[in-house]
Amino acid sequence: MKEVAQEEQVFPPPEEFKRKAWVTDESVYDEAEDYQSFWEKRAEELVDWYQKWDQVLEKDPPYYKWFINGKLNISYNCLDRWIERGQGDKIAYLWEGEEGEAEEYTYRDLYREVNRFANVLKDRGVKKGDVVAIYLPMVPELPIAMLACARIGAPHTVVFAGFSAGSLRDRVIDAGAKHVITCDGYTRRGKMLDHKSKSDEAVDGLDVQCIVVKRGNNQVNMQEGRDFWWHELMEEAEEECEPQVMDAEDLLFLMYTSGTTGKPKGVMHTTGGYLVGVATTMKWVFDVKDDDVYWCTADIGWITGHSYIVYGPLALGVTSVMFEGTPDYPQPDRWWEIVEKYGVTILYTAPTAIRMCMKLGEQWVDKRDVSSLRLLGSVGEPINPEAWLWYHRVVGKGKCPIVDTWWMTETGMHIITPLPGITNLKPGSATRPFPGLKGEIRDAKGVVPQGQKGDLVISRPWPSMLRGLYNAHDKYVEEYWSKYGPERYFTGDGAIQDEDGYFWLLGRVGDVLNVAGHRLGTAEVESALVEHPAVAESAVVGIPHELKGQVPFAYVVLRKGYQGSDDLKKELIKHVSKVIGPTARPDDVLFVEDLPKTRSGKIMRRILKNIASGEQEIGDITTLKNPEIVDDIARKLRP
C-alpha cells in the first residue's frame, strides 16, 4: 500500500530563475545550523535598530525572548527609512476596490497618512500598550491604522471584517480594547454590507469609542460622543509623529485564532523578532527584487495578511497589490485581469482558491496575459498534487517555481518552505524547514522512522514565534508545549518525511483517522479523490464503524459537466482504493454543491463529521462563509 499519494515528478528551479535568485547555494542550511548567529546576521542586515541587542536569545522554556534590549520601531522600518533612502516615490500599494476603483500609495503617501492617523490616535488618548481593535475590510485605512498603532506602540488586534458582531465583541472584551476602528459599509459581490450595524451590536454597552471610515456611503447611525468619522479627525491631524522607541519584546499585535477548543485565543507577537523573521522569509522565500510587483490575495485580517501584505513587503520596500474583492466578481477572470493590469510578478494564494479557479476553467486564465508572473506561492492547507500541477501549468505557464509555504498564526513566518532558487520541488510537499529551523516528526515514543506518519514538531526556537496567549498561560503550555515538552513546539499538524527529508503535511492531527489500526490522513483521501477527472473538490471525515473503529466518509463537489450517480460513486471508491489502498476506501460518497468553509477558505470538517456521523449537535456554524450549505447537505444525507 502506498502511504501517500505522491507525484514522482520533481521540478528543479528554472535556470533563468536560479541565476538571479537571492539564495543560490545549499550552504545556507549548514551556515544556519548556528541558528542564533544566523538570525543575528539577518537582524543586522534587514532591520534598522535604535539600539543593538545585548543577547540574541533568552530561553525560559516554554517562553523565549529575542534580541534582548534591542530597540526599534516597526513603522520606521516600513516607512521612514525608505524615504530617507530616496525611495519615497516608489509605490507601496496599488489598491483596487471591488468595483474597479484604483488608488496608488507611494511610500511617502503612506508615511503621511500613517503619521496623521498616529496623531489622531494620540489625540484620542491612545497610549503605548493600549490595545486597539481594527475591524475593517481590505481598504487602505486598514494597513494605515495598523502602522499608526505600531508607530505609537499601541498593539493592534485586527478582526476579520467578515466575522460576526459576537466574534468582534468577544475579542474586544478579551483584549480590553477601548478603541475600535470600523467603517460604514462595503460591498461584497456588488451587494452592500452594513458593517457599522455589526460593530454597533458588538460594542453595545461596552466602554469603547469608535473611529468610522467612510467606505460604503451607506446610511449609518453615528452615536454622539462614541462615534467619530475618520476623515473628520484626519482633517486637523499633524503630518509628523515621532515613532515611539519600542523594546524588541514589546507587544506588536494580538491575533485571535481558534485552537482545539471553541473559544479563540489571542496569539501574541512582539516587535523585534517578528520583524526579523518576516523580513527574512519575505526576501528569501519570495525572492523579492526592487522591480517586483507582489500580490498576496489573503485578507489582512489573517496572519498571512499581517506578515505578507503589511509588515513583510513594507519592511523590504516592495510594491504590492492590495485587492478588496473576490476572484470571480464581476467575472471569473478578475484575478487574471489584475495580474495583467499591474504586471504582477509574484502571486501568493491558497489551494482552495486554486481549486475554485480550476473548477471555473482555465479559459478564464487564458483570456488574460499573465506572462509577467515569475513566482507562485501557496498557503493555508496542503495543496493536492493535481491543484499544484494545474497552478504550475495554467497560471505559471510551466516557468514559475511554486513555494508551498507551511506555517501558522503562531509561527508568524514561513517555517517549512522551498527556497525557489535552490529547491527541487515535489508537487504537494512544502519541502524543507527554512534555514535555522528544525522540524521533526514525532510520536509518544520519539522521532518516528522516515516514511512514517507522526506529529510535526519544531524543535528549535525562531524569532517570530508566538510569545504566549493573551491572559492564558495555562492554555499556552497545554496547547503547544505539553505533548513534547517545553522545548519542542507541537504544531497540531500531522506530517511524514520522505527519503529526501521533504515534509508532506497531512492536515491537522484531529483530521487523522484510524481505520482498523491504520493511520490515515483525511487529506490523503481527498488528494486521491481530486486526482479523478470528475472531482473538483472533496472533504473526507472519519465516521464511527462497528468493526474498523473509523472509516472515511467522502463529500465530493463535481466538476462542471459531471452528474452524481451510483456508478460514479462506485468508480470513485474504487479509484481511492487503487491510489492509496483498500483501507482508505470511503464507506460512502455524498455529492454536494459546495463545502462549508470558514472565511479564510478552510473546510470545516468538524461540521461535516458531525453530519455524517448523525450527531444531533452539528456545532457552531457562525464562523462559516456559507452557513446555508449545512442544511442542504444534511437534507441530502437524510431527506
Q: Where along the sequence are the contacts to ligand 7RM (CB under 6 A)?
A: 257, 302-304, 378-382, 404-409, 430, 491-493, 505, 507-508
Would you say 408 or 634 has its CB closer to ligand 7RM?
408
DSSP 227-278: EEEHHHHHHT--S--PPPPEETTSEEEEEEE--SSSS-EEEEEESHHHHHHH
Q: What is the smallest separation between the CB atom of 246 and ligand 7RM, expressed in angstroms?
A: 25
Would you say 379 or 551 has its CB closer to ligand 7RM?
379
Q: What is the smallest separation between the CB atom of 88 and ligand 7RM, expressed in angstroms?
A: 32
Q: What is the smallest separation between the CB atom of 623 and ligand 7RM, expressed in angstroms?
A: 12
Would you say 342 or 480 has its CB closer to ligand 7RM?
480
Q: What is the smallest separation between the CB atom of 506 and ligand 7RM, expressed in angstroms?
A: 8
Q: What is the smallest separation between the CB atom of 302 and ligand 7RM, expressed in angstroms?
A: 6
C-alpha cell at 239: 503630518
- Cα gap 535→549, rounded to integer Å: 27
Would you say 509 or 584 has its CB closer to ligand 7RM?
509
- Gyration radius of the chain over CA positions: 24
Phi and psi torsions of 193, nearest 5°: -105, 130
- Would you say 323 and 353 are in contact if contact means Cβ atoms under 8 Å apart? no
Would you say 227 or 493 has its CB closer to ligand 7RM?
493
Would you say 31 or 170 has its CB closer to ligand 7RM?
170
Closest CA to 70 of 246, 329, 296, 269: 246
Would you say 118 or 309 has its CB closer to ligand 7RM?
309
Q: What is the SS3 assignment for 614? A: coil
Q: What is the smallest separation between the CB atom of 600 and ligand 7RM, expressed in angstroms?
A: 6
Query: How crowded is residue 574: how many other Cβ atoms within 10 Å of its Cβ?
Result: 11
- DSSP-H helix ranges across 470-627: 473-480, 522-530, 566-579, 605-612
Query: How crowded is residue 549: how many other Cβ atoms within 10 Å of its Cβ?
Result: 14
Angle at 403 between CA 371 and CA 22, to 5 degrees: 80
Q: Which residue has the cell 475593517?
A: 136
- The DSSP code for 384 is P
Phi and psi torsions of 542, nearest 5°: -95, 135
- Which amino acid is residue 121, in one-letter code? L
Q: What is the smallest separation between the CB atom of 494 and ligand 7RM, expressed in angstroms?
A: 9
- Cα gap 468→422, rounded to integer Å: 34
Q: What is the smallest separation between the CB atom of 458 and ligand 7RM, expressed in angstroms?
A: 11
Closest CA to 630 of 587, 596, 579: 596
Q: What is the smallest separation between the CB atom of 387 and ligand 7RM, expressed in angstroms?
A: 12
Would you say 332 or 351 has its CB closer to ligand 7RM?
351
- Cα gap 552→538, rounded to integer Å: 12
Q: Which residue has the cell 522551498?
A: 418
Q: What is the smallest separation between the CB atom of 304 and ligand 7RM, expressed in angstroms?
A: 5
Would you say 114 or 158 has its CB closer to ligand 7RM?
158
Cα 27 off chain centre by: 29
Q: What is the SS3 assignment for 123? A: helix
Q: What is the smallest separation between the CB atom of 249 and ligand 7RM, expressed in angstroms?
A: 22
Identify the burial level of 165 via C-beta atoms within 10 angstroms of its C-beta, where 0-12 means exposed, 13-18 middle and 19 or more buried: middle
Would you say 585 or 605 has its CB closer to ligand 7RM?
605
Is beta strand 293-296 parallel, antiparallel or unpaired with respect to 319-323?
parallel
Would you say 187 or 405 has its CB closer to ligand 7RM?
405
